[in-house]
């Protein structure tokens, strides 16, 4: 088997966002699975990094397997998993009220945390907020009450939106904002661009930063994180950000490369997409 071509040949390790990069909803994006398979066949390390707290790492692995790419749970870095690590370090015996979906609850239970189902009756130590498609006024009121009575306010992420099959949907950030408004409190945010979501993982999976490429679809999370950690990055235009968003983006949100989809990693002409400077930038 010959060497990889294009940008893929420059790196030994790839860290991919999921929503808007590998798939949208239940639909794989064009060329995504084929590109992942090719990288794996050439011995590249492949990991996945997502702010979406809706599933466990096992569930994400099963989802990619159904799409045709075999991955292990250990290859996934999720905001839900990092939240469990954070609580383990800072509130090791916490009772937690979760505003989130079953995947987040299962991930936290896997760390041994007790989940508070009725926070009004017994004050939890922390309120953890993630994506919650069943979010209600009652859950907002419960979270508000617990936080105002002293529970720690923790957000898995503050993404305003996430890409579904044919549209953008409200993300966890919309729910976090509602609770922040109701309480007047700001949460501890653990997802991208907080470097903690990746540095903890990298401490157990050492890689050469200069030989690692982070690939995402959001400038304010994926690319911002890569720049904070001095990791090369590529933006794909299959999710949230579009090429016009680059025109007014701050320098700390600019990627090294812009690709139409993941097949751009394999093209010989990828150098032409390298951003050294944008027009009207000094």
Longest dimension (CA), the chain: 64
The enclosing H or E element of 63 equals helix 57-67
Closest by CA to 229, choosing from 241, 240, 213, 216, is 213
DSSP 205-223: S---GGGEEEEES-IIIII
Q: Are 223 and 255 in contact (CB under 8 A)?
A: yes
Active-site residue, from 19, 132, 217, 222: 19
Active-site residue, from 17, 132, 159, 217: 17
Residue in this structure with the two tokens 């090369």, named with its chain if needed: 232
**Helix, coil or strand: residue 238:** coil
Closest by CA to 53, choosing from 177, 191, 206, is 191
* 233-236/212-216 β-pairing: parallel
Residue in this structure with the two tokens 């749970």, named with its chain if needed: 73
- Examine the residue annotation and report whether 19 is marked as an active-site residue of this protein: yes
Tokens of 27: 């639909």
Residue in this structure with the two tokens 């950690």, named with its chain if needed: 229
Segment 174-177 long-range contacts (CB within 8 Å, at least 24 positions apart) = 175/99, 175/129, 175/130, 175/131, 175/132, 175/135, 176/129
The catalytic residues are: 17, 19
């Amino acid at each position: 088997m010959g060497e990889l071509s294009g940008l893929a040949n420059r790196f030994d390790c790839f860290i991919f966002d999921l929503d808007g990069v590998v798939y949208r909803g239940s639909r794989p994006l064009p060329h995504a699975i084929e590109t992942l398979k090719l990288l794996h066949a050439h011995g590249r390390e492949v990991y996945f990094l997502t702010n979406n707290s809706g599933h466990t790492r096992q569930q994400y692995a099963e989802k990619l397997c159904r799409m045709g790419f075999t991955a292990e749970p250990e290859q996934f870095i999720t905001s839900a998993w990092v939240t469990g690590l954070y609580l383990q370090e800072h509130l090791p015996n916490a009772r937690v009220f979760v505003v989130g979906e079953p995947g987040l609850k299962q991930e936290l239970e896997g760390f041994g945390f007790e989940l508070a189902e009725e926070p009004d009756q017994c004050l939890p130590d922390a309120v953890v907020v993630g994506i919650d498609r069943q979010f209600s006024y009652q859950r907002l009121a419960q979270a508000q009450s617990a936080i105002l009575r002293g529970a720690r306010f923790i957000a898995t992420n503050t993404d305003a939106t996430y890409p579904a099959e044919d549209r953008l949907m409200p993300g966890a950030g919309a729910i976090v904002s509602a609770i922040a408004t109701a309480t007047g409190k700001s949460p501890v945010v653990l997802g991208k661009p907080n470097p903690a979501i990746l540095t903890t993982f990298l401490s157990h999976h050492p890689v050469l930063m200069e030989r690692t490429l982070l690939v995402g679809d959001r400038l304010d999370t994926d690319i911002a994180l890569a720049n904070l950690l001095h990791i090369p990055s590529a933006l794909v235009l299959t999710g949230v950000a579009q090429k016009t968003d680059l025109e007014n983006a701050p320098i700390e949100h600019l990627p090294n490369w812009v690709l139409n989809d993941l097949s751009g990693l394999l093209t010989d002409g990828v150098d032409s997409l390298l951003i050294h400077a944008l027009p009207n930038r000094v």
